[in-house]
């Protein structure tokens, strides 16, 4: 295990039990948690993106702010729904945020998950062309994004521009070298993982797979990762790809930990239906550190990945989530070969 970071959905609620009561709280606490995670030695701060929900939505202002407040930690998303994205505006925002951070962005994107509203991307001005699905549209947006991130000129210059142009067709500006290699696709199936490899994107796999073969979640995910790596080799890409998996992991080292998550020690995989098909959800890990190390060592997908993202219960506040991260890094991660 080379990298360990956190993944936050950025929920907020005006419930008296929530430490994150507003959109401002969610954003400012996300920045504070990323700063704290860097100070604790974590490798990454990642954020989920949802629209029409009391969660984090537009990622680039947040990523830019974190980039300006930190110096080392990777900053990413897990994931941005490409059905909602103008790929050219996305590329400009991403390059600007990446330059502010000094080239630390790791951007997870995908075709999206079930949302709060029906076909919410239509309100953003996007609708699949005749004969295409919303998933096709997301992949189309992604293809455009990957192409413009190469930095090649494609736009016809104005013969009488406001400012002098360099010769030839013009690319988007600013450009951030290397960003194209730091795009990840959130794949929910084995077939999608193979497509991800063919496109030359890194693989981001969460605690949900939109298929079920009857084997434990971590084994199905490990097969997904292997298929990704095989397809990457077959495609002939020259660089080494990266793979991340997400887990809910809670070391029980205090009475408060046990009060919050002690009941999760009996957690198991769940099988359900999502968008008309079978889906398998990974378990939550919650135990004393020694037992947690034993259980996580048996997780084949964690062993196969180079990056582990732990999901954090952000509404419990910055201090408690920093405690969860510190407990994992101090009491569990060394036993998994981290650092």
Q: For 91-108, what is the mean pLDDT?
A: 98
Task: Take residue 111 and report the two structure tokens written for it.
Answer: 């075709």
pLDDT band at 214 (very low <50, low <70, confident <90, very high): confident
| Cα–Cα distance list, 161 to 156, 166, 171, 173, 316 (Å) | 11, 11, 15, 16, 53
pLDDT band at 268 (very low <50, low <70, confident <90, very high): confident
Is residue 131 scored above 70 in pLDDT?
yes
Helix runs in 113-271, H state only: 134-148, 190-199, 217-235, 255-261
- What does pTM read for this prediction? 0.95
Pairing of strands 202-205, 208-209: unpaired
- In this structure, the chain runs to a length of 339
Share of residues in the chain with pLDDT > 90 (%) = 87
């Amino acid at each position: 295990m080379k990298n360990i970071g956190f993944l936050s959905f950025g929920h907020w609620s005006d419930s008296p039990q929530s430490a994150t009561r507003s959109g401002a709280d969610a954003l400012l606490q996300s920045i504070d948690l990323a700063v704290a995670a860097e100070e604790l030695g974590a490798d990454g701060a990642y954020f989920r993106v949802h629209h029409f929900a009391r969660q984090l939505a537009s990622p680039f202002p947040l990523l830019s702010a974190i980039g300006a407040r930190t110096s080392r930690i990777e900053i990413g998303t897990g994931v941005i729904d490409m059905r909602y994205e103008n790929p050219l505006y996305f590329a400009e925002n991403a390059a600007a945020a990446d330059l502010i951070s000094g080239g630390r962005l790791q951007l997870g994107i995908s075709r999206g998950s079930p949302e709060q509203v029906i076909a919410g991307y239509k309100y953003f001005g996007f609708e699949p062309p005749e004969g295409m699905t919303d998933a096709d549209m997301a992949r189309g947006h992604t293809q455009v994004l990957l192409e413009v991130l190469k930095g090649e000129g494609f736009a016809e210059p104005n013969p009488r521009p406001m400012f002098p142009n360099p010769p030839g067709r013009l690319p988007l500006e600013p450009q951030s070298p290397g960003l194209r290699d730091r795009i990840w696709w959130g794949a929910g199936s084995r077939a999608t993982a193979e497509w991800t490899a063919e496109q030359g994107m890194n693989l981001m796999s969460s605690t949900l797979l939109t298929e079920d073969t009857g084997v434990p979640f971590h084994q199905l995910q490990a097969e997904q990762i292997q298929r990704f790596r095989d397809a990457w080799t077959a495609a002939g890409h020259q660089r080494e790809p990266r793979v991340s998996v997400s887990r809910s992991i809670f070391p029980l080292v205090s009475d408060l930990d046990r009060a919050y998550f002690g009941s999760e020690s009996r957690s198991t995989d769940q099988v359900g239906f999502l968008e008309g098909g079978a889906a398998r959800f990974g378990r939550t890990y919650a135990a004393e550190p020694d037992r947690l190390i034993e259980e996580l060592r048996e997780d084949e997908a964690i062993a196969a990945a180079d990056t582990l993202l732990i999901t954090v219960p952000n509404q419990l506040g910055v201090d408690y989530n920093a405690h969860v991260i510190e407990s994992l890094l101090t009491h569990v991660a060394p036993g998994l070969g981290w650092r």
